[in-house]
Chain A
Amino acid sequence: QKEVEQNSGPLSVPEGAIASLNCTYSDRGSQSFFWYRQYSGKSPELIMFIYSNGDKEDGRFTAQLNKASQYVSLLIRDSQPSDSATYLCAAGGSNYQLIWGAGTKLIIKP
């Protein structure tokens, strides 16, 4: 069974610090990886995607992919209270199917 695993949290991080969110996946055929942010009571919103090994940076966000270890992470620098949300990791293969993690709840403490 294809799975994406995330620590459910909550992960509590002080404001201004780096928040590190992690995700592992079981299917070695996964080719693309996505991070969605979901505020309480709202819908998921795509914030980052990564296809290649290494780092990809976008503003305060950095996605990291290590295919050998089947590991994806999201780093949020200079964390703000507005970053408090649940972060969903998803893995995609060669078609439309995404395998979703259960999400990690992140709390940024002022």
Chain B
Amino acid sequence: DAGVIQSPRHEVTEMGQEVTLRCKPISGHNSLFWYRQTMMRGLELLIYFNNNVPIDDSGMPEDRFSAKMPNASFSTLKIQPSEPRDSAVYFCASSLGENTGELFFGEGSRLTVL
């Protein structure tokens, strides 16, 4: 299996621009997570999908962030407008089943907002 695939790997953008991050989970995994990692705050769960349905978006920082999962093989995380404080590494992870901590992470998307 190819694992969790994320794109882009690196994104540099200017404040106010729209950013879209993409994720393809492992085939057959029905749980998908978007995390953000920074030195200051560590790993933070942004949103959790189960069977393509958003279950918990309480970690989404504010209305500028949105996430979708139109089908079992694709998810997006969008930031509009972006701000310098959004600079972080964004990870997508998937798992087989809902109540498991056995997550498979993608390589991450490193976002820099100038």
The reply to whether B107 and A96 contact each other, CB–CB distance below 8 Å, is: no
Does B34 make an interface contact (CB < 8 A)? no
Given contacts A34-B101, A42-B107, A46-B102, contact A96 B48 (CB under 8 A): yes
Q: How large is the interface on A (under 10, 10 to 19, 20 to 34, 35 or more residues)?
A: 20 to 34
Shortest beta-carbon distance, A36 to chain B, in Å?
Answer: 8
Does B103 make an interface contact (CB < 8 A)? yes
The reply to whether B101 and A32 contact each other, CB–CB distance below 8 Å, is: yes
Give how many B residues have a beta carbon under 8 Å from the other chain's beta carbons. Answer: 21
Does B14 make an interface contact (CB < 8 A)? no
Task: Mark the stretch among A14-22, A68-76, A77-85, A98-106 that contacts chain B.
Answer: A98-106
The reply to whether B55 and A100 contact each other, CB–CB distance below 8 Å, is: no
Given contacts A96-B31, A96-B48, contact A44 B98 (CB under 8 A): no
B residues near A101, Cβ cutoff 8 Å: 42
Q: Which 7 A-B pairs have the closest CB atoms?
A: A43-B105, A92-B101, A34-B101, A100-B43, A102-B42, A98-B101, A44-B105
B residues near A44, Cβ cutoff 8 Å: 43, 91, 103, 105
The reply to whether B56 and A96 contact each other, CB–CB distance below 8 Å, is: yes
Does A1 make an interface contact (CB < 8 A)? no
Task: Give the residue among A49, A97, A98 with the most B Cβ atoms within 10 A.
Answer: A98
A residues near B43, Cβ cutoff 8 Å: 44, 88, 100
Shortest beta-carbon distance, B57 to chain A, in Å?
Answer: 13
Q: Which residues of B contact A (CB under 8 A)?
A: 31, 33, 42-43, 45, 48, 50, 55-56, 91, 98-108
The reply to whether A94 and B105 contact each other, CB–CB distance below 8 Å, is: no
B residues near A42, Cβ cutoff 8 Å: 107-108
The reply to whether B91 and A49 contact each other, CB–CB distance below 8 Å, is: no
Shortest beta-carbon distance, A34 to chain B, in Å?
Answer: 4
Q: A39-64, CB under 8 A of B: which get 1 and which 0?
A: 00011111001000000000000000
Given contacts A42-B107, A43-B107, A43-B108, contact A97 B102 (CB under 8 A): no
The reply to whether A96 and B55 contact each other, CB–CB distance below 8 Å, is: yes
**B50 — nearest CB in chain A belongs to which residue?**
A96
